[in-house]
Structure formats: structure tokens, C-alpha cells
A and B are shown apart, each in its own frame.
Chain A
Amino acid sequence: MKKLKITPIKNGTVIDHIKPGMALKVIRILNISDGSEKEVAIAMFTKSKKLGKKDLIKVEDMELGPQDVNKLAILTPNASISIIRDFKVVKKFKVELPEQVEGIAKCENLNCITNQKEPVEPKLIRTFDNPPRYRCFYCGRDQEDVTKNVI
């Protein structure tokens, strides 16, 4: 089978080892396709030695802020990020599951006070590493699937 080729980027970010099938959600949540016409390449369900299958995203002229990295960690905890400047990888790191996240994912309990019109950001505290589990700081609800509620 012919190998899929994605051209290198000059400046920007490569997000690799994304959970297969999650790339489009990552694009949407990180607001990558924000209408600014920056170049974005997406590969989905490509072969991976580590994961079997994986997705990959390359974005020109964009670097992720700490909140974006936390969102990515929740969506796809095995992802790695490479920062590219002038075609060279200047920084490469694996995302790390944050101990707590504020303003990143809504509490799944619809009756939680953070889902009402109150001046408070949802805050989730990690209770278990593998698989990652989070609990709402306010209502105490253990989240079934935090990836569904990333804002």
C-alpha cells in the first residue's frame, strides 16, 4: 500500500499519537479551524507502532496555550506535541493529565450549580490515573466520560 504523505510545516504545531477517530473533535475543541485560513493537515487511522492506529494533526502558525494542552490531555491522554520553527522541532513533549481542570470541561450533572447561570467555572479534580477519572469539585459527582463535556 502506498504511504500517505503529509508535507512538513515551516512554523506551527504537530499533534501526534491522537486517539484514533478523535482528530476532528480536537480540531473543533481547540478551535483550530477558526476561519483564519491557516494550513491544517489531518491524518486519521494511520498505522502506529505504539498504538496500532492513531490520528495526527499539523497546523501552520499556531502554538497551543496551557489550557489547550490540558484539553488535549483530557481528550487524548497519549498525545504528543511538537513545536516547529523554521522546519525544525524546537520542543517536543507528551501531554500530561492535569491534577485539576478549571473552565475546560462541564460537570455532567445537569443539576450541578456550575451548570446554572452562576459566575463560576466548572472545576474537576482527578481522582484516578489509569483510566483517568475526574470528580466535580462543587457537586462531587464522579464523571462517567469527561471527554464528552470538554468545552
Chain B
Amino acid sequence: MTLKGRDIVNIGDLTLDEIDTILRTAEDMVPVARGESKSKIMDGKVLASLFFEASTRTRLSFETAMHRLGGSVITIAGLEGTSLIKGETLADTIRMADAYSDIITLRHPREGAARMSATFARAPIINGGDGAGQHPTQTLLDLFTIKQSLGDIGKRHITIVGDLRYGRTVHSLSLALGRMGASMSFVAPDIIQMPDHIISDLRDMGASVRKTSDLVSEIPNSDVIYMTRIQKERFAEEEEYRKVAGAFKLDIKMIENARENMIVMHPLPRVDEIHPEIDPTKHAAYFRQAFNGVPVRMALLKLVLEGPQ
């Protein structure tokens, strides 16, 4: 099925073939994303970039992607200055943006906001993160980074560390990795471990997964260590947050016995989960991962607005 005209709300809406098409298209986009070659395929097209919640990488990389492809961007960054503050519904704001643009990317603090927006807009909606819900473009750029670094994803072992209960990115990432045949370790204290329904969905698809709180013993067997920030804003109680904050910190000594080509990833922003001494090593993939947001989002813009050729 073609991606042209489709909404990208949930990574689960995409088949493995479609994910592969997006990753291959992203590879072709890398020179344009770096500014080494030029493209005008989005000439005359307008992206509405609606970010009702704080975002640095996702918003900037979507907007860079559109500019690099020769298109234009209209933007809302934060609630201030929007009609939502005056009590306008999101549905009405979306109808307005729909009238002004060819494609809409949206980040919103409420779960389900992107799916609802898709029912009101003629233009395709790309979900840039909805509350603690889905963040499919982050998953795509994570998969792209793993494939780019290791050559393949199936049969690899990925260790995912940190906030696995509330972390928006890790649920859709682990489900996508499971579908691709990777095995996983989930490293977290009990209180923020991976929810049972995700574990059970992963086991249903035949993925080999385990839960643990011991990061050090997972490192030698991992192809990827995916660190995440423990997000204060997802905890109802300050007390609960303080109990787990700073539980896992990766430093250079801990990765001494790592596999030669093991990569460390992080969706960023990091606080102190990864010591800066890892930054210059060959294992550090997180800045490349952040850059990869541009070619992956370029690929999506192209495939959703133009089709495959």
C-alpha cells in the first residue's frame, strides 16, 4: 500500500515493508539533509508545524526537513499566542491549519490528539508526539540509526534503560523491534518497568524479552544500549520521581567490556544518564541519531506528499 496521503499516527499502522521503504528513502535523503546536494521536490508545498508542547529536536528537524526540500513552513510553538488559550478547540485549530497547508505535523499534551486531528483534516497528519502516547517518527529515526550503524536489526540484542513505564518513545520502539525479530532487555526499577501489556504483546509476536534492574551485566551481550531520561513531568508525585531519578548512569568504565560495534543511543535531551566522557568514543550514536531526524522526516514528507518515485 502506498504511503501517499496517509496519516502517520502510530508506528503500528505501518507494515514492515512500509517501514523499510521509509528507511531506504531516508538513506537517499542524507546528502540533502547535510546540505551537500539540493532538492526542490516540496516546492510550493506548505507544512503546518503545530507544537503545543515543548520540543526542540522534533520541531526543528521537521522544519529543517521541509526547508531542505524546498517547501515552506508555518508554525505554532507553544500555546502562547494561539486561539487555544482563548478556548478554541484543537479540532477547530486543525481545520484552520488544514485550510492553510498541505501537510500537518502535531505535538500535543493529550493522548489521542493526532488520531482525532486526522479525522478533522483533509491534509495528512504526522504525529510528533501525543502526551505519553505515540511518537512514530522518533521510532523511525531510531530504527534508521540502528540499521545505519549495524547494517541490520533482526537478531540484534537491544537493551533499553530508564523510564520504560512512562517513556513515550520506548513503547513504540520496542514493539517495532519485536516485529523485526530483535531481542530485548528492559532495565529499570520495578516502579518504572515496561508495562505488562507491552511485554505480553511482544511475547505474542515471538520476541525474546526480559526484565531486569542490573544494567552492568546486560552490557557485554548488547548491540545497542538505548538510554532514556526519567521524565519528572510524567510523575504525579514528586516523592515517586525522587525515588527513581538518577537510577542508571552510563560511564566509560561500564562499557569497557562492550562489543566492538555496540552503540549507545538516547532520544535526548539527556540529564546525566550518559557521562560526557562517552561522547567522543565510537560507541556514541546519540548525536548522529538526533541528526537522523532530518533525513527520516524528509523521507516521510516525500512519501506522504509525493509517493514513492
| Distance (whole angstroms) from the CB of A35 to the closest CB of chain B | 33
B110 touching A140, Cβ below 8 Å: no
Q: Is A117 an interface residue (CB 8 A)?
A: yes
A64 on interface, CB distance cutoff 8 Å: no
- A116 at interface, CB cutoff 8 A: yes
User: Could you tell me which residues of chain B, from 1 to 26, have a CB within 8 Å of some CB in chain A?
Assistant: 10
Pairwise interchain contact A138-B89, C-beta atoms closer than 8 A: no
Q: Which of A38-46, A69-77, A105-113 contacts B (4 or more CB under 8 A)?
A: A105-113
A101 at the interface (CB under 8 A from B): no
Contact flag A139-B111 (CB < 8 Å), given A118-B116, A120-B119: yes
Size of A's binding interface in residues, CB under 8 A: 18
A-facing residues in B75-129 (Cβ within 8 Å): 89-91, 108-113, 115-116, 119
Verify if A136 is at the interface (C-beta below 8 Å from B). yes
Contact A118 B111 (CB under 8 A): no
Query: Closest residue to B116 on the A side, CB-wise?
Result: A113
Contact of A111 among B115, B131, B197 (CB under 8 A): B131
When A120-B116, A140-B134 are in contact, do A112 and B111 touch as well, CB less than 8 Å?
yes
Q: Are A119 and B134 in contact (CB under 8 A)?
A: no
Give per-residue flags for A107-147: 1 if the beta carbon is below 8 A from chain B beta carbons, else 0: 10101111011111000000000000000111111100000
Q: Are A137 and B115 in contact (CB under 8 A)?
A: yes
* A73–chain B nearest beta-carbon distance, Å: 24
Beyond A111-B131, A139-B115, 12 additional pairs, beta carbon < 8 A: A112-B110, A113-B112, A113-B113, A114-B116, A116-B90, A118-B90, A120-B91, A136-B112, A138-B112, A139-B111, A139-B133, A140-B133
Residues of A near any B CB (own CB < 8 A): 107, 109, 111-114, 116-120, 136-142
